[in-house]
Amino acid sequence: MYDIPSQPYEMTAAEAAALIADRKMAVSELTESCLERIAHRDSTVKAWICVDPDLALRKARELEKVLIHSGSRGPLHGLPFGVKDMIDTADMPTTNNSTIYDGFQPGTNANIVRNIIGTGGFVLGKTDTVEFAAGGRKALTRHPQDNSRTPGGSSSGSGAAVGDMQVPLAIGTQTGGSHIRPASFNGIYALKPTHNSVSWSGARQYSPTLDTLGWYGRSPDDLMLVARAFRMWNMEKPPAIKIKDLKIGVARTANWDKCAPETVAAIERAAKLLADQGATVFDLDMPEGCADMTEAQKTISAAEGIVQFLPEYLENYHLLHSDFRLRVENSKGVTPESYLEAVNLAALCRMRFDALFGTALDAVLTPSALGEAPQNPDATTGDAIMNSMWTLLHAPCVNIPGAKGPNDLPVGVTLAGPRLGDARLLAISKAVAPILDPGLRVSA
């Protein structure tokens, strides 16, 4: 059995879901506990742009009635979510952290929100984000353990809200490193799934080639719970994993020399711990062309951003942050030739990367961030350079916490897998997490 904590807000989503399903905890009990935590902590953390306690409790009590009279709606029944404020919600504003959309109220929910509601979950509130999840204005959110530091971005509020135990689950997005990097900084679990595994419809687009929705939790079981609810490939029966059978390739990538000592130490620690448990751990040479993928990702996002931000440029030029004006004006000097070269390189590298997996390789171990969360959150959310290649590869990635840096702040590591190998990657992550993360509660 799980060692259940004393306060509902401290529970993982999987723990809470089991208690709700067994009628041992009311949905409103979990919701009230989260709201109390938010009231106590969010003046410091500033993770949320919108929380309506009365609305949240009405949703919770309705879900209690549904459970009694109709049965569970699905795996997420009764679980509250934080939703990044560039994803449409029909009963809360979606501002994109832009003055253009201040107070904007969509008429419909984004598809991912519909998935949450359709499988029994509900939106507790909207979490702060970097403007358009792309640049411009930073979120007000601060790191839960040190408010002089960033929680990462662009999924700033979602990462901090889960990291500070204000909500068990939250939705983030990644175009470069906007989802995995905040998970590393906040010491939480995250899945950036295979590109297009979850519908993007209703979320603000930046780069269709890159934009990927993901979610945060506080255990691998949390990530798997949401993946099952969203009916991702092969999640109905994930494979059984034995550590001693695993073959883990360590990918230091072309940007390894930019990593802080704590990231180098986190990778070496993870490699040693897994090897000590019988896994085969070896240095992995990435396929030809992958060294150029950081620049390719920048080229593609710059090219596709021109198209995506043109409407605001034409209609609200005076309100549009200069960052986006420059993008529409192609300040990076992207050409049709350079864009096509980047797209073609990405297609080649995806096939080459997928081909690595099989009898010789089960998962890739690689950094989640350059180091600990940096200071000066008004100026930086950290560097995406260790994530952008994996985003362009469309590869599923899981952040696993456990290591600490010189300031006793979290430093995560990433496990990556082949496209549409999410179920196996999650099963591997669940198997290795107790080895890498000493703070993880596991079943006896």
- The answer to whether 381 touches 322, Cβ cutoff 8 Å, is no
User: Are 88 and 196 contacting, i.e. CB atoms less than 8 angstroms apart?
Assistant: no
Cis ω for the linkage preceding 197 (within 30 of 0):
no
Q: What is the maximum span of the chain, computed from C-alpha positions, in angstroms?
A: 61
- Structure letter (DSSP) for residue 8: G
**Rounded-to-integer distance, Cα 55 and Cα 441, Å:** 32
In whole angstroms, what is the distance from residue 42 CA to residue 296 CA?
38
Active site residue 199: no
Establish whether 430 is a catalytic residue.
no
The residue among 327, 370, 389 whose CA lies nearest residue 132 is 327
Task: Single out the catalytic residue among 28, 33, 46, 84.
Answer: 84
C-alpha 347/C-alpha 344 separation (Å) is 5
Q: Which of 28, 33, 98, 154 is catalytic?
A: 154
User: What token pair was written down for 324?
Assistant: 């986006």
Verify whether residue 28 is a known catalytic residue: no
Closest by alpha carbon to 159, among 128, 131, 133?
A: 128
Closest to 379 (Cα-Cα) out of 151, 138, 130: 138
How does DSSP classify residue 136?
S
Q: In sequence order, what E strands does 265-422 have?
A: 280-283, 363-367, 397-404, 410-416
Given a contact cutoff of 8 angstroms between Cβ atoms, the answer to whether 128 and 49 are in contact is yes
* Phi, psi values for residue 147, rounded to 5°: -75, 5
Task: Classify the C-alpha dihedral 205-363-388-123 as positive or negative.
Answer: positive
Q: Give me the residue label for tokens 């997005």.
A: 173
Instruction: Copy the structure tokens of residue 173.
Output: 């997005």
Helix (H, G, I), strand (E, B) or coil at 260: coil
Please, are residues 98 and 137 in contact by the beta-carbon 8 Å criterion? yes
Alpha helices in 46-100 (DSSP H): 53-69
Q: What is the DSSP letter of 244?
A: G
**Considering 178, 184, 207, 301, which one is annotated as catalytic?**
178
Helices (H), 316-421: 322-328, 336-354, 388-392
Among all residues, which ones are annotated catalytic? Answer: 84, 154, 178
